[in-house]
Amino acid sequence: MASARYSELVQRRFREARHAGEIDREPGGFAAYVEEGGSGARIRLTAAADKATLRALRFQVFGCPHLIAAADLVCERLEGRPVKELAGFDCGALREELDAPLEKSGRFLLLQDALDALAVTLDAA
């Protein structure tokens, strides 16, 4: 079965993905989009934020189950947190927590890029 390749946490997040979707851009809405050429994986993050705090975060992903689970977890963990935590989020540690194989490192780097891009967008606003 395909599921043997994924931890329980990945499977649950993949199936439930409570933070999937998008937040209206206005008012106080921000978005960031990144994609990886080789695999075709792509992420769009949308956030509702005031000056210092991420009030809500949503993701849209075209990619593997690990990337979907990771994006869902990131959104959950950063909601209600200071905006400055976006850029400092450790996606490498998340890869280990999700027990994703090393060959998936590129997907987690892509997620890091998406968070960085969102931080830049918020910073510029």
- Interface residues with another protein (CB under 8 A) are 1-3, 6, 11, 14-15, 17, 20-21, 33, 35, 40-44, 60-65, 68
**Nearest distance from C-beta of residue 45 to another protein, angstroms:** 10
Strands (E), the chain: 29-35, 42-49, 54-62
Q: Which is nearer to another protein, 14 or 28 (CB)?
A: 14
Residue 96's contacts (CB-CB under 8 Å, 6 or more residues apart) are: none
Q: Which is nearer to another protein, 63 or 118 (CB)?
A: 63
**Nearest distance from C-beta of residue 17 to another protein, angstroms:** 6
Q: Which is nearer to another protein, 2 or 102 (CB)?
A: 2
**Nearest distance from C-beta of residue 97 to another protein, angstroms:** 18
Q: Which is nearer to another protein, 27 or 38 (CB)?
A: 38
Residues 123, 55, 82, 69, CA torsion sign: negative
**Tokens of residue 73, six digits:** 């977890």
**Nearest distance from C-beta of residue 100 to another protein, angstroms:** 12
* Alpha-carbon gap, residue 13 to 67, rounded angstroms: 10
Residues 63, 1, 19, 110, CA torsion sign: negative
